[in-house]
C-alpha cells in the first residue's frame, strides 16, 4: 500500500526537548518498530551532543515538506531540506528518508546510510546551507530514483559520482539563486554526467546550473535520453545552436531553454515533438524565422518565445481543437495580421503579443475566446475599431496601449466584463465620450486611457468601483470641471488628468481625504490650484505622495505641505507664477529624483548649499530670473538645465569631474564668463552640452573633438577665438554642432567628415577663410548646413566623385566671398530639396534623437553604458515606489509628445491662407546664396518649381523683411525627458523617445532673422512658436 509520510527534524536553540520526550513525538509516525528504534537512536545521539545549553528537538509529522536546522553556538553549521515523494516509494509499506547532521559521530553517519541502503527505491530531497557542496557519497544510494537538490544553496562542481546512480528517473539540480555562487557542470561535463549510465532519466532540471559546453555537444548528449519527458535548462549559459537532433526526444512534453545566449534559429524539426505541452525559449537571442508548424502541435498548451528581438514570424491559420492556452510572443519581431482563426483556440486564456510589429484590424472572432483572461496587444500597429469581447466574460487584464486604434466606444462596451481589473487603452486615437460603464465595473482597479481624443465632461464618481486605484485620463480633450466626488474615492493611488481642457479651481487640501494617493497630475489644463489651507496649523495630514505634477496650474507659491513629503520622487511645478526664493528644505528630501521649477519668476536660493547631499537625477530651473554663481551641482544628476536665467559667474574648473553621470547639460542664455573648462571632457556620459548665448572667451578645448559620447554640442553666440579643433576621430557621434556667432577663424576641419551621423552644422557668423566643404557631402545624414556670414571663397562646385547630399534641405551660404557660376550639378545633388512625395518617409523629422541605438523594445544598449554604481543608487531611490505608479509616470512625462503627432509641427500662413505642413523636412526647404560674387546665368535647376507651394525667397536679400507670415510651431521639449530616457528604462521596459527640437527652431531663427520666438497655449499645452515679425 502506498503511504505518504514526511519527517520533520528540527534542532533549535529556543526549543529544547529532552531525549526522553522523543519517543512521545515519534509516536505520530506509525512505522515499523525497528525503523523507529533506529531513527530514535540517531536523533538521541545528535540531541545528546547539543543538549547542554543549546537545546534541540525532533518533531515528526505526516505530510508536507520537512526541514532540519542544526545550530552550533548560534551559527548555522548545516541546514537540510528534504522530503519524501510517495509516488516513488514502494518498500514494505514504508516511506524511507535520508538525513545526516554535521557533528554527529561518524559511526552513526555511516550506520544511517546503512538504513537507507536496506530500503527499496527511495525519493529524497536534500538541501544544504549556502557555500556547501553536494556530498559525493550520494552514489551509495544505488536504488535512488528521485533526487531533488533544487534551491538548496549548494555551489561548486556537481560530483561525477552522481553518474553512478543508474536507476535515477528524476534529477533536479535547479536553482533560482542569481549570485555567482552556483552549481557548475564542467568536469564532468553534461555528456559525461548523463551518458552512458543515466539513460533512464525522464525528468531533468538543471535551471541555473553553469554548464560548460561547446556548440552541438549539449544537444547531442541530450538527444540520447530517449525516455526524457521533461527537460528544463534555463539560465545555464548554453551556447547555440539549438540542434535538430533534439527532435529525437519523442516523449518530450516540457522543453525549457529560456535565458540562454544561444544566438540561434529555431529548427523546423522541433515541430516533430508531437507530445510537447510546454515550450519555453524566452530571452535566448533567437533569430531567423520561427517555424509556423510549432503553433500547430496538437498538444501544445504553453508557448513562450518572448524577449527575442531578432526572431521573426507570423501567426498561422490555427486549426480547430488546438490546445494552446498561454501564448507569449512579446518583444519579438513577429508581424502580420492577427488571423480570424485564432477563435479556434478554444482554451486560450492568456495572449501576450506586446512589443511586436502586428498590424491590421483586430478580428471580431477574438471575441469568441470564452476562456480569455489576459490580453496584451500593446506596442503594435493595430488599426480600426475595438471588438466587443462580449463573450470573453472572464477577461481580467486588457492592454491595447500604443496602437492606432480608432472609433467611439459604445456606452455598454465593457458592461459584461465584471471581472476586469486593468484596462489600458493609452496612446491610440479613440474619440467620443468615455463610457461611464467603465468606472462602474465592480473589480476595476486600473483605468488608463492617456493620449487619445476622448472628450466631453467627466461624470461623477459616485458609482465608481470601490477597488479603483489608478485613474489616468491624461492628454485627451476632456473639459469642464473635475468632479468633487473624485476626491472621495479613497482607494485611489494615482490620479492623472494632465493635458486636458479642464477648468475651475481646485483646493489642493482636498487630497487629504485620499489617504492612499501616491501620484497626482493636474498639469497642462486651464485649472487654478489653490494652495491656501483651511487648517494652516496641520500640514501633516496629507497622503504620502511619490509624484506631484502641477505645471501650468497658476500656482502663486510652492505648497508648504511638501516640506513633510519625505518620500517624494518627482515634483513638477513648472510654468506657474511662483516668485521669490527656492526654499532650502526642498534639497533635503532624500528621495527627490526629479525636480522641475522651470518657467517661473524665481530670483534666488534660500540658505547655504555647503555640504548638501542630494539624490536628484533631473533638475530643471530654466526660464527663471536666478542670478549670481551656480548654486550647487547634484552629484548623481543625469539632466541639469540652468538655461535662460541671469547667472553671471565663472564655471568651476572641475565641473566635469563632479558630474560622473551627467547626460544632458544646458547653461545656455545666461551671462557666464571665463573659459570653457576642459574638465567637461571627463564627463564620459555627456550626450548634450549647450553653453550657447553666454560670454565665454578663449579657445575651444581640443578634447571636445574626441568626445565620442557627444551628440549635441552648442557653443554658439559666445566670444570664442582661434581654430575649430581638427582632431575629430572616426568614433564621432555628433548630430548637431553649433559654433555660430563667435570669432573663430581658419578652415572648416576636414576631420568633421568622420561625423557620419551629423544632421545639423551651424558655423554662421565667424571669420572662417576656407573653400566650400565638398568633403561634407559624404555625410549622408546632413540636413542643415549654415555657413553664412564668413569669409569663405572660391567656387562651390564639387568633383563628380563627391557623394550626393541626400538629406540636405536647408542651406545658407549668404554673405561670403564665393565666386564663379552656380553649378547645376551641385543643386541636383541636393535631393531632399526636390519635390518627390514617394520619398517623403525616409527624411523623417527635423528633430534629433539623442540615442542613436535606441530600440523601443530593447534598452540593453543603454544599460551597457550606465555605471553600475549609479544603478545601485537608483535602486535605493525606487525601492518604495509602486511599479505601476512609476510606469505611469514614465508614460506621462517622457512620452509627452508622441512621434506620430510631431508631424503636425509647422503651420504657415501664406498670403492669408493657412497651410499645415505635415512633413517638415520634405516641405520646408531653404536656400540662400545672396551677397556673394557669383556670376553667370541662374541655373535651370532653380526654376523647376511647379509641383506645389514652396517657401518664397525674398527678392533682394534673404535677411530682409518679408510679407510672408510664417508660424512655425514646435513642441517645446526640455530636460524633462532626460530622466526618463536614462533612468526609468532600467526598471521597466517601456517605449520612450528624446528629441532635441529647440535647437532646430533657433537655427531657423538665425537663418531667417525676421522670425521671432513667442509662447502660445494650445490644447492645454504650452508651445514655443516662431512667428514672422510684424
Q: How many CA atoms lie within 13 A of 832 on its CB side?
A: 28
pLDDT bin (cut points 50, 70, 90) of residue 282 is very high
The pLDDT score that the predictor gives to residue 691 is 97
Provide the β-strand partners of residue 968: 1026
Residues 86 and 150 grouped into a single domain: no
The 10s digit of each residue's pLDDT in 122-157 is 333 444 444 578 887 777 777 788 888 888 778 888
The 10s digit of each residue's pLDDT in 300-346 is 999 999 999 999 999 999 988 789 999 999 999 999 999 999 999 99
Domains contained in the chain, number: 3
Question: From CA 109, how far away is CA 123, in angstroms rounded?
Answer: 19
Q: Is residue 197 part of a domain?
A: yes
Residues 172 and 211 grouped into a single domain: yes
Residues 83 and 179 grouped into a single domain: no
Residues 90 and 153 grouped into a single domain: no
**φ/ψ of residue 564, rounded to 5:** -100, 5
The residue out of 129, 160, 178 marking a domain boundary is: 129
Spatial contact of 650 and 672, defined as CB atoms under 8 Å apart: yes
Residues 925 and 1012 grouped into a single domain: yes
Q: What percent of the chain has pLDDT over 70?
A: 68
pLDDT bin (cut points 50, 70, 90) of residue 694 is very high
Q: What percent of the chain has pLDDT over 90?
A: 48
3-class state of residue 927 by DSSP: strand
Residues 873 and 1022 grouped into a single domain: yes
Q: Based on C-alpha coordinates, what's the Rg of the chain? A: 35
Q: Looking at the predicted structure, is the pLDDT value of residue 174 above 80?
A: yes
Backbone dihedral region of 480: left (phi > 0), alpha (psi from -120 to 50 degrees) or beta?
left
Joined together, the cell numbers standing for residue 508 give 489642493
Q: Is residue 970 part of a domain?
A: yes
Q: What's the burial of 191, exposed, middle or buried (CB within 10 Å: 0-12/13-18/19+)?
A: middle
Q: 283: domain CATH number?
A: 3.80.10.10
pLDDT bin (cut points 50, 70, 90) of residue 13 is very low
Q: Looking at the predicted structure, is the pLDDT value of residue 49 above 80?
A: no
Mention every residue, 6+ apart, whose C-beta is less than 8 A from residue 935: 819, 820, 821
The 10s digit of each residue's pLDDT in 833-878 is 775 544 443 434 455 666 554 433 333 333 444 444 444 444 444 4
Q: Looking at the predicted structure, is the pLDDT value of residue 110 above 90?
A: no
The residue out of 101, 129, 157 marking a domain boundary is: 129
Question: From CA 246, how far away is CA 449, in angstroms rounded?
Answer: 46
Residue with cell 578645448: 701
Q: Is residue 74 part of a domain?
A: yes
Residues 51 and 76 grouped into a single domain: yes
Residues 181 and 217 grouped into a single domain: yes
The 10s digit of each residue's pLDDT in 497-537 is 999 999 999 999 999 999 999 999 999 999 999 988 765 55
Joined together, the cell numbers standing for residue 629 give 554663481
Provide the β-strand partners of residue 232: 205, 256
Average pLDDT over residues 368-391: 94
Residues 994 and 906 grouped into a single domain: yes
Residues 119 and 256 grouped into a single domain: no
Supply the DSSP symbol for 133.
-
Q: Is residue 900 part of a domain?
A: yes
Q: Is residue 757 part of a domain?
A: no
DSSP assignment string, 742-803:
SEEEEPPPGGGGG-TT--EEE--SSEE--B--GGGGG-TT--EEE--SS--EE-----TTSP
Q: Is residue 819 part of a domain?
A: no
Q: Is residue 896 part of a domain?
A: yes
Range of the domain at 302: 142-240+252-262+277-287+296-308
Residues 177 and 235 grouped into a single domain: yes
Question: From CA 146, how far away is CA 323, in angstroms rounded?
Answer: 30
The pLDDT score that the predictor gives to residue 771 is 95
Q: Is residue 498 part of a domain?
A: no
Average pLDDT over residues 753-782: 94
Q: Looking at the predicted structure, is the pLDDT value of residue 633 above 90?
A: no
Residues 23 and 147 grouped into a single domain: no
Mention every residue, 6+ apart, whose C-beta is less than 8 A from residue 801: none
Amino acid at each position: 500500500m502506498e503511504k505518504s509520510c514526511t519527517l520533520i527534524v528540527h534542532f533549535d536553540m529556543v526549543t529544547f526537548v529532552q531525549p526522553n520526550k522523543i519517543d512521545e513525538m515519534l509516536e505520530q509516525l506509525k512505522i515499523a518498530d525497528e525503523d523507529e528504534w533506529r531513527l530514535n537512536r540517531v536523533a538521541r545521539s545528535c540531541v545528546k551532543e547539543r543538549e547542554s545549553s543549546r537545546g534541540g528537538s525532533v518533531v515528526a509529522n505526516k505530510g508536507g515538506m520537512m526541514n532540519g536546522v542544526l545550530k552550533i553556538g548560534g551559527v548555522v553549521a548545516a541546514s537540510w531540506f528534504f522530503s519524501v515523494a510517495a509516488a516513488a516509494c514502494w518498500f514494505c509499506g514504508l516511506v524511507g528518508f535520508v538525513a545526516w547532521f554535521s557533528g554527529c559521530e561518524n559511526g552513526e553517519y555511516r550506520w544511517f546510510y546503512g538504513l537507507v541502503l536496506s530500503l527499496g527505491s527511495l525519493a529524497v530531497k536534500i538541501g544544504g546551507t549556502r557555500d556547501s557542496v553536494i556530498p559525493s557519497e550520494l552514489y551509495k544510494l544505488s536504488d535512488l530514483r528521485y533526487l531533488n537538490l533544487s534551491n538548496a544553496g549548494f555551489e561548486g562542481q556537481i560530483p561525477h559520482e552522481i553518474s553512478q546512480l543508474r536507476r535515477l528517473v528524476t534529477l533536479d539540480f535547479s536553482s533560482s539563486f542569481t549570485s555567482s555562487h552556483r552549481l557548475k557542470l564542467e568536469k564532468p561535463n553534461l555528456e559525461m554526467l548523463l551518458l552512458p549510465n543515466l539513460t533512464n532519466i525522464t525528468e531533468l532540471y538543471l535551471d541555473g546550473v553553469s554548464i560548460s559546453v561547446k556548440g552541438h555537444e549539449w544537444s547531442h548528449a541530450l538527444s540520447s535520453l530517449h525516455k526524457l519527458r521533461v527537460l528544463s535548462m534555463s539560465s545555464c549559459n548554453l551556447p547555440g545552436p539549438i540542434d535538430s537532433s533534439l527532435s529525437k526526444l519523442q516523449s518530450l512534453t516540457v522543453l525549457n531553454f529560456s535565458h540562454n545566449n544561444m544566438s540561434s534559429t529555431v529548427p523546423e524539426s522541433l515541430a516533430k515533438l508531437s507530445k510537447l505541452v510546454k515550450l519555453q525559449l524566452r530571452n535566448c537571442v533567437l533569430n531567423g524565422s520561427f517555424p509556423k508548424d510549432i503553433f500547430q502541435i496538437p498538444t501544445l498548451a504553453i508557448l513562450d518565445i518572448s524577449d527575442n528581438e531578432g526572431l521573426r514570424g507570423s501567426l498561422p491559420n490555427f486549426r480547430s481543437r488546438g490546445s494552446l492556452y498561454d501564448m507569449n510572443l512579446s518583444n519579438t519581431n513577429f508581424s502580420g495580421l492577427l488571423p480570424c482563426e485564432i477563435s479556434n483556440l478554444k482554451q486560450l486564456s492568456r495572449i501576450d503579443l506586446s512589443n511586436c510589429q502586428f498590424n491590421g484590424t483586430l478580428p471580431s472572432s477574438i471575441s469568441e475566446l470564452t476562456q480569455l483572461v489576459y490580453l496584451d496587444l500593446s506596442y503594435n500597429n493595430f488599426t480600426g475599431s475595438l471588438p466587443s469581447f462580449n463573450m470573453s466574460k472572464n477577461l481580467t487584464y486588457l492592454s491595447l496601449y500604443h496602437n492606432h486604434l480608432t472609433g467611439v466606444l459604445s456606452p455598454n462596451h465593457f458592461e459584461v466584463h465584471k471581472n476586469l481589473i486593468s484596462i489600458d487603452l493609452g496612446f491610440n486615437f479613440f474619440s467620443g465620450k468615455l463610457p461611464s460603464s467603465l468606472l462602474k465595473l465592480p473589480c476595476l482597479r486600473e483605468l488608463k486611457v492617456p493620449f487619445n481624443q476622448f472628450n466631453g465632461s467627466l461624470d461623477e464618481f459616485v458609482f465608481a468601483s470601490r477597488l479603483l486605484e489608478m485613474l489616468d485620463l491624461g492628454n485627451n480633450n476632456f473639459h469642464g470641471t473635475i468632479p468633487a466626488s473624485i476626491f472621495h474615492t479613497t482607494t485611489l493611488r494615482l490620479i492623472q488628468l494632465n493635458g486636458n481642457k479642464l477648468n475651475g479651481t481646485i483646493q489642493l487640501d482636498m487630497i487629504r481625504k485620499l489617504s492612499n494617493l501616491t501620484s497626482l497630475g493636474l498639469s497642462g489644463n486651464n485649472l487654478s490650484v489653490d494652495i491656501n489651507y483651511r487648517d494652516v496649523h496641520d500640514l501633516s495630514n496629507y497622503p504620502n505622495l511619490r509624484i506631484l505634477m502641477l505645471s501650468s496650474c497658476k500656482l502663486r507659491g510652492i505648497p508648504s505641505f511638501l516640506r513633510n513629503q519625505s518620500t517624494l520622487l518627482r515634483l513638477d511645478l513648472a510654468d506657474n507664477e511662483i516668485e521669490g526664493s527656492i526654499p532650502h528644505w526642498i534639497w533635503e528630501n532624500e528621495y527627490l529624483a526629479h525636480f522641475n521649477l522651470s518657467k517661473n519668476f524665481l530670483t534666488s536660493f534660500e540658505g547655504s548649499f555647503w555640504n548638501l547631499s542630494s539624490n536628484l537625477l533631473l533638475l530643471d530651473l530654466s526660464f527663471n530670473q536666478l542670478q549670481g554663481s551656480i548654486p550647487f551641482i547634484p552629484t548623481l544628476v543625469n539632466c541639469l538645465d540652468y538655461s535662460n536665467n541671469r547667472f553671471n559667474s565663472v564655471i568651476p574648473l572641475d565641473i566635469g569631474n563632479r558630474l560622473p553621470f551627467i547626460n544632458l547639460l544646458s547653461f545656455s542664455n545666461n551671462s557666464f564668463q571665463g573659459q570653457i573648462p576642459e574638465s567637461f571632457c571627463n564627463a564620459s556620459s555627456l550626450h548634450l552640452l549647450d553653453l550657447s548665448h553666454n560670454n565665454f572667451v578663449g579657445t575651444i578645448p581640443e578634447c571636445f573633438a574626441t568626445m565620442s559620447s557627444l551628440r549635441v554640442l552648442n557653443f554658439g553666440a559666445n566670444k570664442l577665438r582661434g581654430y575649430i579643433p581638427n582632431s575629430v576621430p572616426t568614433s564621432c557621434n555628433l548630430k548637431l554642432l553649433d559654433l555660430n556667432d563667435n570669432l573663430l577663424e581658419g578652415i572648416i576641419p576636414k576631420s568633421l567628415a568622420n561625423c557620419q551621423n551629423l544632421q545639423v552644422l551651424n558655423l554662421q557668423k565667424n571669420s572662417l577663410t576656407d573653400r566650400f566643404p565638398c568633403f561634407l557631402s559624404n555625410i549622408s545624414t546632413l540636413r542643415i548646413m549654415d555657413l553664412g556670414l564668413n569669409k569663405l571663397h572660391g567656387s562651390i562646385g564639387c568633383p563628380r566623385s563627391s557623394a550626393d547630399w541626400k538629406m540636405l534641405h536647408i542651406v545658407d551660404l549668404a554673405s561670403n566671398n564665393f565666386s564663379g557660376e552656380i553649378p547645376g550639378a551641385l543643386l541636383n545633388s541636393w535631393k531632399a530639396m526636390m519635390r518627390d512625395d514617394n520619398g517623403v518617409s525616409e527624411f523623417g523629422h527635423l528633430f534629433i534623437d539623442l540615442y542613436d541605438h535606441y530600440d523601443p523594445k530593447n534598452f540593453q544598449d543603454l544599460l551597457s553604458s550606465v555605471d553600475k554604481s549609479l544603478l545601485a543608487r537608483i535602486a535605493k531611490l525606487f525601492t518604495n515606489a509602486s511599479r505601476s505608479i512609476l510606469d505611469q509616470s514614465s508614460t506621462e512625462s517622457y512620452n509627452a509628445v508622441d512621434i506620430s503627432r510631431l508631424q503636425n509641427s509647422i503651420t504657415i500662413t501664406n498670403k492669408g491662407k493657412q497651410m499645415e505642413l505635415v512633413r517638415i523636412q520634405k516641405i520646408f526647404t531653404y536656400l540662400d546664396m545672396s551677397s556673394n560674387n557669383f556670376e553667370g546665368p541662374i541655373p535651370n535647376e532653380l526654376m523647376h518649381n511647379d509641383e506645389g507651394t514652396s517657401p518664397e525667397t525674398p527678392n533682394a536679400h534673404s535677411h530682409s523683411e518679408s510679407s510672408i507670415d510664417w508660424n512655425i510651431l514646435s513642441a517645446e521639449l526640455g530636460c524633462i525627458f532626460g530622466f526618463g530616457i536614462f533612468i526609468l528604462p532600467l526598471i521597466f521596459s517601456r517605449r520612450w523617445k528624446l528629441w532635441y527640437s529647440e535647437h532646430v527652431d533657433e537655427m531657423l531663427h538665425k537663418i531667417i532673422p525676421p522670425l521671432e520666438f513667442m509662447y502660445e497655449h494650445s490644447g492645454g499645452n504650452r508651445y514655443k512658436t516662431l512667428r514672422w515679425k510684424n
